[in-house]
Chains A and B, each alone.
Chain A
Amino acid sequence: MLNYIWAGLIVSSFVFALGYDIRDISADRYRNGKPLPVSLSFPTGYDSAARRVPIEIWVDSARYAGFYGVSGGSTQHYTGYLLQSREGIQIRFEKGAALPEPLATIAKVSQSRDTEPQGTLVGSVPGPHVTTASAGVVFAPVRFVKLNAIASAALDFAKTGAEIALGLIGVLALFLGLLKIAEDSGIVFALVKLVRPILRPLFPEIPPDHPALGMIALNLTATLFGLGNAATPFGIKAMEELQTLNPSEDTATNSMVMLLAINTASLQLVPPVLLLALMGTQINTLIFPILTTAVLGLIVAIAAARLLGRLPGFRASDPNRAPQA
């Protein structure tokens, strides 16, 4: 199942990215190679010998809309400078200029080494002693924006994935250490006895006195009190305990799926800290609907995990049922 979803995500991103890019190219959305009309003014005057001339750039809304075939917008004003060399005149916008679409996308491709939006000035080169001029700006051609975007998103998030995992090391070490104490001192077994009547029906595969039930209880308690940082190590430890009961190495047991389903439903008595921060005092009125929804979601999760496990396909792949090699 995950194989198909995963491949589906990747393939459909490629198909959609390519589709959007081809649409953009055939509609000439970025007007590659054609000059965008702008007006320039020279606050310190124009000097044809200077390498760098400060300018103000005015982009008229009507001409901009006509040029790119977009609607709305207001006349925009930016500061920047002209960079004059033997190869011609480059026009550079101030770094971080708030450009409207599609110019914002173009600027991501057409930019200087210091990430200033940049284009080539075409048309009449201003004469000496002028204070304003009309000109056109040709930007570097923009092609296959979405294809580029999915590639860079993949690279970015590969990095994010490793960062998240490595960021967990400290917290994981702390709670796995505490859990080892809990195991050695018998807290886990005491907990197992306490929660057995509640959790046993959900996890019939686990032997009655196995520490896995205690770890699951700790995981659920931490989740219940909104302690995500503690819940994750407890959940991982619970999975490790379940794995010791698993006859197969890489196939999930029914208990594992049940633990996962319960965790994805995330029943919390205390709302997530992030939501508290975002919603402020509004959260008070939302506690009740959040709890109701989470409880009902939890029931659906448990029912789904239990019922899907009975389907013939999933029943056949159950490591506890499959013929042992």
Chain B
Amino acid sequence: MLRQGQERLRFIACAACLLFLLAAGCNDYPESYPPPEQRVPLTPLETGEEMAFVEAGEAGAEFYFVNDIRALEVDQWRWTGEAPTLRYLLYDVDDLTFLMEFALPEVSFKNTNRITVTFLVNGKEVGRKQYDTPGRRQFEAPVDPDWLVSGEETAVTARVNPALVLPDSGLKYGLIFFKAGFERR
């Protein structure tokens, strides 16, 4: 009787241990996984960040370009047409300076001695400059905050006069664009 009781106890103990070990060793994770749903990169407008400044070669620069800006050349500059237009998204519109870095190459002066560039912010003229010689230039001018609307797109146009017109194709070339945008004073 005692022996039977002992065996029963032993059996229960062994079964319990076995169950426990089985439970400890079991998991049902897959060995490998398929690629998950691919996330779509955010557009600059979706980031919630200010779009205040753009360089010709930076990733996603195209999102700033509205019109008349051509493909990237050697990673850092782009040809523009006669009225390149860019867009920005500003939230704090006070105390801003508009700045553009560009170049007027020798070829642009082939048919003229003077090139005028007019800078417009939301259609309002922020400055006009005349250039008599080729070279790298920087334009800088304070912007009246009343011309800007926080959280809404700001359009900037640089009107080049006269633009270089290729005789064969009729394509117009304005300036060489490096970077442009708004900086806090």
Check if A and B associate. Answer: no
Q: Residues of A with Cβ closer than 8 Å to B?
A: none
